[in-house]
Amino acid sequence: MTTSTQGPSIIPLEGVAIAKLPGPVGRKKPNRSYRHEQRSGLAMLAPAIVLLILFILIPAGLAFGLAFTNARLISPYPATFAGLDNFVRLFQDASFGRALLNVAYFAIVVVPLQAGLALVMALLINTRIRGTTFFRTIYFLPVVTSMVVVSLLWVFLYREDGLLNVLLSKATFGLVTGPDWLGETATAMPAIILMSVWQGVGFHMIIWLSGLQTISAELYEAADIDGVSRWQKFRYITWPGLRATRSLILVTITIAALSLFTQVSVMTQGGPLDSTTTVVYQAVESGFRQQETSYASAISLVFFVIVLIISAIQRLLTREKV
Amino acid sequence: MATDVHLAPPTAAPARTARSSSRTARAPRARLGILGWLVRIVLAVVFSFPLLFMFVSSLKPDAQIFGDLASLAAFLPVGNISLDNYAAVFDRVPAARFLINSVGVSVVTVALGIVINSLAAFALSRMRVPGKGLILTVIIATLIIPFETLALPLVWWVNQLPSLSVDEFGVAFTRGWLDTYQVQIVPFIVNAFAIYLFHQYFESIPKELDEAARMDGAGWFRIYRKVVMPLSGPAIATVAILTFLPAWNSYLWPLMVIQTEELRPVMVGIQYFYQLNVSWGEIMAYSTMITLPVIALFIAFQRSFINSIASTGVKG
């Protein structure tokens, strides 16, 4: 955190001598040069700080503030204080309850599925075998493809007469006739889950991979000499070595899962019968379509508190298991 | 925090990757059995075939797309192949305009982001600024706020901001940023993660270098421009990629703040295709048009892409 050179001080005396080196030069006008440095530093920071305040801190504060008013997006009247009205309405809103349940369902399935599959893929490409770069590139392709495009593509794959059902029927010699995946309450969410994992898993594969590569190869070599089995190597070397990566992946997938929006917006608009509506989708519907900024802010606030609580719990859980 | 990278040469990016990491980071020389290869290949099919299907279908008329489904032809450019769908896309929507908008918005966001975030990180890493510990803490703390929680209050907020408008009556202040280019750019320039990445990277560049430059009479801005930034190529690439992808892919935000057709970015333009008289060939053509440039960039700068994603996994 200090601005000194932080060289490894072998002998304390030498360290002192090094630290004083610029002394004689700057001695005559230390104040002026320090003030100049402060001023230039603040000038360099200023654009970022102004933008940070304007577009992150103020909106965050507004999510709090507006939630307790009756503000509308476009309104001739100034907003007035409304107390807890929005929150009372929120907890009586059946759609919002449904949204919370759906998001929980989505997160509980997606987090282990995506993290697990990503780890398997990372292990598969963490080798020196030829063709690894090729496979890594292929697995990563959906990540650089926009979620909007992916969602629309999968709308086609999921049609009743779409690619998935044709394949299903071919593979079972016509025994299985797939449903209209996105049109039925029971299958819409699983369909969105499958597609989301397909799109996002490559991202977490790379993060696992960077974690795997921090584990010393000597540990594996030592294990080889001792004739340790593959599973034991994974259990006692790889898995403990991934502790930091694990908690990071857990938190990032969970937050992304709770923020589910784009897929739903493109594929189902929350339907059928609210079976795929989500918290963010509800916020956008009320804040944007119905222009009820205050109600949307209340949803955003509740959402943020949930995200905070869940990531705090996850951090605690992953920290304790040292 | 991350003092281990402090003495590393500037070429060692904070992000470690498959290739750049040293021998300690090497995986065991695994022998992949038949099963391993099979899994790899099956996964490759699973991840590539839907995209392949998209590219190929963009060249076929709708009837043939459905007709080919039952055979491997679904993934092959065979039969009645033409660019008709692409022509139809340009007829149906101002696709060129959408593409120009997205390129413009993304490039400006990325360029301004690199300058402003790196300047801030430079001051926080190199200079004595009052309260810089607190500033860095606040910046990192904002990382836990998902954009989705800010989006709705932010729509209301940008609609209150003053805007300068120029018309035939001269220059005037108007209220509200809705329906402008600036609303698609300015809120996304500052990026806490980019500042954090630059800061980490700058910490790995020896400070003796700026001291030497200062002896030669260089000012702070000159050190930033002539000493630190030229050594920060990998960090710049990482930040460019990490800010370009969400800018190009942005959907929720422009959906809410842009009404005028001429200002729309590519992802919002996709709405035109699935609302009335759906033509899947055209959808696939438009999707290909807005996806292929990014995939081409990814394949050309593969190492940097993988590096930048890996860097999101680096923690202090």
- Chain B residues in contact with A216 (beta carbon < 8 A): 24-25
Cβ separation of A56 and B43 shorter than 8 Å? no
Which of A48, A214, A287 is the closest to B16 by Cβ? A214
* Cβ–Cβ under 8 Å, residues A296 and A283: yes
> How many whole angstroms separate alpha carbon B227 and alpha carbon B212?
10
Q: B131: which 2 tokens?
A: 């309260």
Read off the tokens for A102: 């759906």
* B16/A143 CB distance under 8 A: no
> What ipTM describes this predicted complex?
0.82
Check if the beta carbon of residue A245 is closer than 8 Å to that of residue B315: no
Distance from CA of A166 to the nearest CA of B (A): 6
For residue B188, give the chain A residue with the closest CA. Answer: A55
Q: Where are the domains positioned within chain A?
A: 26-67, 87-320
Write the DSSP string, chain B. Answer: --GGGTTS-TTS-SS--TTTS-GGGPPP-PPP-HHHHHHHHHHHHHHHHHHHHHHHHTTS-HHHHHHHTTSGGGGS--SS--SHHHHHHHHHS-HHHHHHHHHHHHHHHHHHHHHHHHHHHHHHHHS--TTHHHHHHHHHHGGGS-HHHHHHHHHHHHTTSEEEEEETTEEEEEE--SSSSHHHHGGGT--HHHHHHHHHHHHTS-THHHHHHHHTT--HHHIIIIIIGGG-HHHHHHHHHHHHHHHHH--HHHHHH---GGG--HHHHTHHHHHSS--HHHHHHHHHHHHHHHHHHHHHTHHHHHHHHHHTT---
According to the model, what pLDDT value does residue B31 have?
A: 61
Counting one residue from chain A and one from chain B, the pairs whose CB atoms sit within 8 A come to 323
Check pLDDT > 50 for residue B58. yes
Q: What single letter denotes the amino acid at residue B55?
A: F
Find chain B residues with C-beta within 8 A of A47's C-beta: 116, 119-120, 190
Burial label, A72 (beta-carbon count in 10 A; 0-12, 13-18, 19+)? middle
pLDDT of residue B175: 78
- Please report the pLDDT score of residue B314 as a whole number: 60
pLDDT band with cut points at 50, 70 and 90 for residue B217: confident
User: Across the interface, which of A22, A56, A149 has its CB nearest the CB of B142?
Assistant: A56
Distance from CA of A36 to the nearest CA of B (A): 10
| Distance in angstroms (rounded) separating the CA atoms of residues B70 and A61 | 55
Residue in B53, B159, B305 closest to A73 by CB: B159
Q: How confident is the model at residue B21 (pLDDT cuts 50, 70, 90)?
A: very low
> For residue A25, what is the nearest residue in chain B, using CA coordinates?
B215
Q: What is the pLDDT of residue B277?
A: 73
Q: What is the pLDDT of residue B122?
A: 94
Most confident range (mean pLDDT) of B97-111, B152-166, B196-210 is B97-111
Instruction: Among A73, A220, A265, select the one facing B156 at the smallest CB separation.
Output: A73
- For residue B269, the chain A residue with the least C-alpha distance is A148
Q: What is the pLDDT of residue A121?
A: 92
- The arithmetic mean of pLDDT across residues B44-70, rounded, is 89
Tokens of A269: 């608009």
CATH of domain A87-320: 1.10.3720.10
Task: Specify the 3-state DSSP secondary structure of A216.
Answer: coil
Q: What residues in chain A have per-residue pLDDT under 70? A: 1-30, 319-322
In which band, very low, low, confident or very high, does the pLDDT at B309 lie, cut at 50, 70 and 90? Answer: confident
Task: State the span(s) of chain B assigned CATH 1.10.3720.10.
Answer: 93-311
Average pLDDT, chain B: 83
Q: What distance in Å separates the CA atoms of residue B191 and residue B189, rounded to the nearest whole number?
A: 6
Determine the residue type at B126.
Answer: R
DSSP A162: S
Q: Which of A82-86, A315-319, B45-49, B60-64 has the highest mean pLDDT?
A: B45-49
Interface with chain B: mutation pick from A18, A55, A139, highest number of B CBs within 10 Å = A55
pLDDT band at B10 (very low <50, low <70, confident <90, very high): very low
Which of B50, B249, B297 has the CB atom closest to A153's CB atom? B50
The reported pLDDT for the residue numbered B1 is: 33
Q: Predicted confidence band at B279 (pLDDT cuts at 50, 70, 90)?
A: confident
Please tell me which of the candidates B157, B189, B211 has its beta carbon nearest to residue A22: B211
Nearest Cα residue in chain B from A261: B252
Residues of A in contact with B220 (CB under 8 A): 37, 40-41, 44
Question: Among the ranges A59-73, B45-59, B152-166, which has the highest mean pLDDT value?
Answer: B45-59
Average pLDDT over residues B198-221: 88
Q: Chain B interface, mutation test: which of A127, A226, A301, most B Cβ atoms within 10 Å?
A: A127
Domain B93-311 belongs to what architecture? Answer: Orthogonal Bundle (1.10)
What's residue B189's pLDDT? 95
Q: Does A216 sit within 8 Å of B27, measured CB to CB?
A: no
Q: Inform me whether the pLDDT recorded for B12 exceeds 50.
A: no
Q: How far is the C-alpha of A258 from the C-alpha of B104, rounded, in Å?
A: 31
